[in-house]
Amino acid sequence: MTDSLRWFTSSYSNNGGNCVEVATNIPGTVPVRDTKDHDAGTLTFRTDSWSTFVQFASHQSV
């Protein structure tokens, strides 16, 4: 399954290496993985759950 995914990191990533990659080319789901360790596995979220998380995270201050 992961061979057909098109992975990317956020444009907000500062390239510090502590990032996740997501793939959005699978209808209904958003797979997420560690940028540094692709073999560690993949978490898969429903699209609506991922959207809610991103919306929440974008409103948090660091």
User: How confident is the model at residue 60, as a pLDDT?
Assistant: 74
Query: Distance between alpha carbon 38 and the CA centroid of its chain, in Å?
Result: 12
57 or 3, higher pLDDT: 57
What are 11-62's pLDDT values in tens digits? 766 766 678 899 989 999 999 999 889 899 999 999 999 999 989 988 875 5
User: How confident is the model at residue 57, as a pLDDT?
Assistant: 84
At which residue do the structure tokens 């990032």 appear?
A: 19
Domain boundaries, the chain: 2-58
What percent helix, strand, coil does the chain show, rounded to 5? 30, 25, 45
pTM, to two decimals: 0.76
Element (H, E) at 34: strand 29-34
How far is the first Cα of the chain from the last one, in angstroms, to the nearest whole number? 34
User: How confident is the model at residue 20, as a pLDDT?
Assistant: 87
Element (H, E) at 53: helix 47-58
